[in-house]
């Protein structure tokens, strides 16, 4: 995941987890220990959403992830997030399910989440935003087993290009 960050980054943090499902189980166990009703509430929420956090979210991801600030800070910070993905199709379906559920319960004040996709040079770019706050859109795509996200398609495309060209923080002096 660090290969999507250029040597020009002002901040980068990478982490590796052995088993994302186990991490999710531990988080859910910890939440249940601090609140006796948390497990019951979580089960109810997952049932309503039609999404299982362990099976549908955690199991879709691998253990390699990076977050970086790689470019300008103003007017919008040029952040990047890259995470290893084992099951991209299932993850995309889970995202769609969550968006649909949110929109069914959204009111006029919060707005609806808009999930769209665009094919560019054989690659599908997704945009996830809110119809009330278009400046908060997140763009993402899947590249060689990684989900890569950024606040603009330009930053996303640059991250992919830098990786293809070998201009990466991991390979820099």
pLDDT of residue 134 exceeding 80, the answer is no
- Predicted TM-score (pTM) of the model is 0.90
Other beta carbons less than 10 A from residue 24's beta carbon: 19
Residues 6+ apart with CB under 8 A from 96: 115
Torsions phi, psi for 137 (to 5 deg): -75, 140
> What tens digit of pLDDT does each residue of 54-102 get?
999 999 999 999 999 998 888 888 999 999 999 999 999 999 999 999 9
- Name 81's bridge partners: 67, 149
Report the pLDDT averaged over residues 1-19.
95
* Top mean-pLDDT range of 6-10, 28-32, 134-138: 6-10
- 35, pLDDT greater than 90: no
SS3 per residue for 62-118: EEEEEEEECCCCCCCCCEEEEEEECCHHHHHHHHHHHHHHHHHHCCCCCCCEEEEEE
DSSP state, 144?
A: T
Which residues lie closer than 8 Å to 114 by C-beta, 6 or more apart?
127, 128, 129, 130, 131
Q: Would the pLDDT of 18 be above 80?
A: yes
pLDDT band of residue 31 (cuts 50, 70, 90) is: confident
- The closest of 64, 46, 55 to 21, measured between CA atoms, is 55
């Amino acid at each position: 995941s660090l290969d999507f960050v250029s040597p020009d980054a002002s901040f980068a943090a990478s982490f590796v987890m052995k088993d994302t499902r186990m991490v999710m189980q531990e988080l859910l166990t910890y939440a249940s220990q601090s609140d006796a009703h948390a497990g019951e509430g979580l089960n109810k929420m997952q049932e309503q959403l039609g999404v299982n956090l362990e099976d549908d979210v955690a199991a879709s991801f691998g253990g390699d992830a990076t977050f970086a600030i790689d470019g300008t800070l103003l007017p919008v910070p040029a952040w990047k997030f890259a995470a290893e993905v084992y099951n991209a199709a299932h993850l995309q379906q889970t995202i769609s399910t969550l968006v649909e559920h949110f929109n069914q319960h959204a009111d006029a004040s919060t707005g609806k989440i808009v999930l769209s996709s665009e094919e560019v040079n054989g690659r599908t770019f997704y945009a996830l935003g809110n119809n009330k706050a278009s400046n908060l859109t997140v763009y993402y795509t899947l590249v060689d087993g990684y989900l890569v996200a950024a606040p603009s398609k330009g930053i996303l495309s640059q991250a992919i290009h830098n990786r293809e060209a070998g201009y990466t923080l991991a390979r820099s002096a």
